[in-house]
Chain A
Amino acid sequence: MTLAHIHLLLNHWPIIGAFVGLFLFLVALFANSDDLKQTSLAFFTLIALLAIPTYFSGDVANEVLKLSTPLPKELVGAHQGAALLSLIFMEITGAVAFLGLWQFSRMSRPAPHPVARWNSAIVLLLSIVTVVLMTITGNTGGAIRHPEIFSGENAASAVGAIGSKIVPAVSHFVTGSSRWVWPILETLHFLGLILIVAAIGALNLRLLGFVKDLPVAPLHRLLPWGIAGLVINIITGILFFIGMPFFYAWNPLFHLKMASVVVAGSILVLFHCSSAFRSWAKLGPGEDPPAFAKFIAASSLFLWLVIIVLGRYLPLTQESLQ
């Protein structure tokens, strides 16, 4: 198994996931089921997290394949372009779904809330666009490995053509346009880190029993600031990768960091931002959560610290690779 297999392992999930998420969400809307709505919002967010390493693993797959087979450049470009557009829309869908999910976790009654309804309309719209883009990404990707299916037909679509112009343009913006773009993105990445540590860290520390005289629910209300930090860091992180893919694509610590982000993000989605949190949110000053809540809080804290450390160590393994 080579690193190229990671792309094969991951790349079907966001496509099928976007379809399944949209299907679940439509059923939830027609059946007016809040539980199913939450499930699909969580599902969208998880797929958005998984789409990040899927996109990143594409660069390695391309380089490995190039060694054995001559790859038509337009096909790869179209696939990469469509993939970037899919990634952008998947991430926006995930972020909006994330906020909708958080609404559910704080509502005392699961009655339809005006904000939640507004949220549903946006998620529906975005997820439909994402599904279309994902389909194109799948088709253009398939054309690279399975030319027999597309005999004589050019699978590169208008979307791929637009997207393939965006990738070099973004890359130029990040590394070529001004020497200050990269440092400013780094600064934003650090400020995002601080928001994550402040909001997610404080909530987890309280669950673990520090600052016990604080009630849990109001700390939970600060979570959107942590989510905002995560969104900032995902956006700046994607820009870093597009700017210098060669620095990250083969770096084992980067792979580990991305895996940790997916797991830590999933914990945040499934335990802190779903109705699973509601019973823990009832804890008043001085009250202790169940052991399982402490285990989740400790895992989350540990993973975010690991992510910071892995991020700082990235240049080390880059040097040893050369």
Chain B
Amino acid sequence: MFLSIFKAIEETGLSIWIRESDSVFSFWCILSVHAIGMGILVGASVLIGLRILGLAPDLPLAPLKRFYRFIWVGFWIQVGSGIFLLIGYPTKALTNPLFYLKLTLIGLAMVSMQMLRNRVFADSSLSEAAMMAKGRIFAVCSLAFWVAAVTAGRLLAYTYTVLTA
């Protein structure tokens, strides 16, 4: 039943264009955007995480909150480009259990980052030392989830069982 839905998606003009078009704006362009979005999203998270864990201690912590804007810009770039990639290859992604693991890991990483924001960055009464102590667990979790999510995403290209329905 699911396969027939995937097949219907694969037969739409947009899906065919993403997979087969010779245009430089189709598949490889979307993949490039997805890679840049990953750099922005995970890069900004890594920056905040490493500082919370004690790197560059003379970097003021509170203004790092600004980098949450980059995290959300990166996140929506990933959602947008990810949907296009999914339209191009629905069967390839949705029949691979690793794809659901990847989405879960991204969700956990985003939740860790948001908890860091709400519990640590939102409380302006905290000293830097208190912010680092309180934020450590969220920073460790988000870094671990991001590394796992990137790994899962990369392995999707090598672990699929069905390319198209």
Residues of A within 8 A of B (CB): 179, 182-183, 186-187, 190-191, 193-199, 201-202, 210-211, 213-215, 217-219, 221-222, 225, 285, 305, 308-309, 311-313, 315-316
Asked if A218 and B35 sit within 8 Å, CB to CB, the answer is no
- A213:B47 contact, CB within 8 angstroms: no
Residues of B near any A CB (own CB < 8 A): 24, 28, 31-32, 35-36, 38-40, 42-44, 46-47, 50, 55-56, 58-60, 63-64, 66-67, 146-147, 150-151, 154-155, 157-158
Q: B residues within 8 A CB of A194? A: 38-39, 42-43, 46, 146, 150
| Ranked 6 nearest A-B pairs via Cβ | A218-B59, A197-B39, A198-B43, A197-B43, A312-B32, A213-B63
Which residues from chain B contact A202 at a C-beta distance below 8 Å?
43-44, 47, 67
A308 touches which one: B24, B39, B146, B155 (CB < 8 A)? B39
The chain B residue with its CB closest to the CB of A316 is B28
Interface pair B155/A187, CB less than 8 Å apart: yes
How many A-B contacts are there with CB distance less than 8 Å?
Answer: 103
Q: Which of A187, A191, A217, A309 contacts B32 (CB 8 A)?
A: A309
A–B pairs, 26, beta carbons within 8 Å: A179-B158, A183-B155, A183-B157, A186-B157, A191-B150, A194-B38, A194-B42, A194-B150, A195-B43, A195-B46, A197-B43, A198-B46, A199-B47, A201-B39, A210-B66, A213-B63, A214-B59, A215-B58, A218-B60, A221-B58, A225-B55, A305-B36, A308-B36, A311-B35, A312-B32, A313-B28
Q: Which residues of A contact B24 (CB under 8 A)?
A: 313, 316
Complex Cα spacing A199 to B47, Å: 7
Distance in angstroms from B121 CB to nearest chain A CB is 14
- Docked CA distance A211–B39 (Å): 18
Write the chain A residue with the least CB distance to B63. Answer: A213
The one of B55, B59, B67, B154 that contacts A190, using a Cβ cutoff of 8 Å: B154
